[in-house]
Each structure stands twice: as C-alpha cells, then as structure tokens.
C-alpha cells in the first residue's frame, strides 16, 4: 500500500481538486493573492501527507509532517473564509468544503 491509498490523502486530493475548479471563477485580479494561495495550501495538504507516509518509520518526523498538513488545511480554511466574505463562492459551497475539511482533520490528528 502506498500513500495514494490512504483515506486522508484521497480526501485531501479530492478537496484540492474541488478548490481548483471553484477558483477558476475568482476574478483575475485575485490571481496572486487569493487564487494562488488557496490552491497552494490545499495541494500542500496532499504533499505533506505523502511526505509523512515516507517518514512513518520516524515517529517525530511523521508527526511533524502530519502537523504541517493540518496547518495547511487550516490555512485553506482561512482562504475559504476570504472567498466567502468577498462573495467569490456561495455559502453552500463554502459549508460543503468546510464539512469535508473537518472530516479530513480527523485523519490528520495523531
């Protein structure tokens, strides 16, 4: 089994893809401040899960990478807050994404 089969990775990857699709509608003037940031942080969740998987033999490194992943997930939530506040996403979309992120958080805690 590899990291791609992990439930946390699958959930994180799905969220990152949803966010990518949603951010296509964000105005171009937000490209570098909001769009790039939310895409980067959501993808970083996946990257850190992959890195954590490779560090699983080293408990402290493993925990550190999962903590990084959780932090990136929280950063993504902040960018979603801005997106909602600026009316770039609908409240239903926002709530759905946050609900999925909460489920992901359960997989990232050790």
| Structural domain boundaries in the chain | 3-108
Pick the CATH number of 3-108 from 3.40.50.1110, 1.20.1440.60, 1.10.3720.10, 1.10.287.3510: 1.20.1440.60
Whether pLDDT at 91 is above 80 = yes
| Maximum separation of any 2 CA atoms in the chain, in Å | 44
Q: State both tokens at 104.
A: 């992901």
What predicted TM-score, i.e. pTM, was given to this entire model?
A: 0.92
Whether pLDDT at 110 is above 80 = no
Q: Which of 74, 65, 64, 66 is nearest to 42 (CA)?
A: 74
**Confidence at 60, pLDDT banded by 50, 70, 90:** very high
CA distance 57 to 11: 23
Percent of the chain exceeding pLDDT 90 equals 90
């Amino acid at each position: 089994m590899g990291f791609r089969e992990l439930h946390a990775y699958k959930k994180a990857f799905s969220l990152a893809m949803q966010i990518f699709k949603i951010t296509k509608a964000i105005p171009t003037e937000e490209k570098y401040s909001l769009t790039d940031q939310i895409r980067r942080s959501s993808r970083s969740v996946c990257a850190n899960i992959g890195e954590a998987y490779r560090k699983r033999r080293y408990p402290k490194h493993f925990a550190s990478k999962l903590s990084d992943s959780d932090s990136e997930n929280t950063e993504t939530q902040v960018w979603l807050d801005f997106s909602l506040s600026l009316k770039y996403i609908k409240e239903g979309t926002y709530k759905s994404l946050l609900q999925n992120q909460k489920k992901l958080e359960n997989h990232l805690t050790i």
